[in-house]
């Protein structure tokens, strides 16, 4: 994928924080699909202000089970195919970056 990253150093600060700590979801909108006055589906649309990732989570209106979740990532958040890093790797990169800034 063009624009994908190989190394934590290539991520923006916001993307690096999200990879380390998880997203900070904010409300965008809720979408409701009704049939004869009953809620069939409920979709929560959320956005992470740190890295601009968006999430759409569709929930069954009867059982409240999550039917599907889709994410849309910015190009600088997506890792190059085959690159796998643990949460520990991301944390190490975030702390290393913070310490370098502090030293300046």
Query: pLDDT class for 29, splitting at 50, 70, 90?
Result: very high
- Give me the pLDDT at residue 5, please: 83
Report percent pLDDT > 90 for the chain: 72
In 48-84 the beta strands, taken as DSSP E runs, fall at 54-60, 66-72
The answer to the question of residue 32 being in a domain is: yes
- Domain assignment present for 2: no
In this predicted structure, the answer to whether residue 1 has a pLDDT above a threshold of 50 is no
**pLDDT at 3 > cutoff 70:** no
Q: What is the residue whose two structure tokens read 């975030």?
A: 94
Q: Which domain covers residue 49, as residue numbers?
A: 8-103
Closest CA to 46 of 59, 32, 74, 27: 27
Domain-located, residue 61: yes
Q: How many domains does the chain have?
A: 1
Helices (H), the chain: 13-21, 87-103
pLDDT, tens digit (0-9, with 9 covering 90-100), for 38-86: 999 999 999 999 999 999 999 999 999 999 999 999 888 888 888 889 9
Q: List the structure tokens of 10.
A: 């290539």
In a domain, 42, yes or no: yes
- Whether residue 3 lies inside any domain: the answer is no
């Amino acid at each position: 994928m063009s624009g994908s990253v190989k190394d934590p150093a290539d991520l923006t600060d916001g993307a690096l924080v999200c990879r380390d700590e998880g997203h900070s979801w904010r409300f965008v909108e809720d979408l409701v699909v009704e049939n004869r006055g009953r809620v069939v589906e409920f979709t929560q649309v959320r956005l992470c202000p740190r890295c601009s990732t968006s999430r759409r989570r569709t929930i069954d209106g009867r059982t409240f089970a999550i039917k599907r979740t889709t994410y849309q990532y910015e190009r600088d958040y997506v890792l190059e195919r085959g690159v796998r890093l643990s949460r520990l790797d991301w944390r190490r990169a975030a702390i290393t970056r913070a310490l370098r800034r502090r030293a300046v």
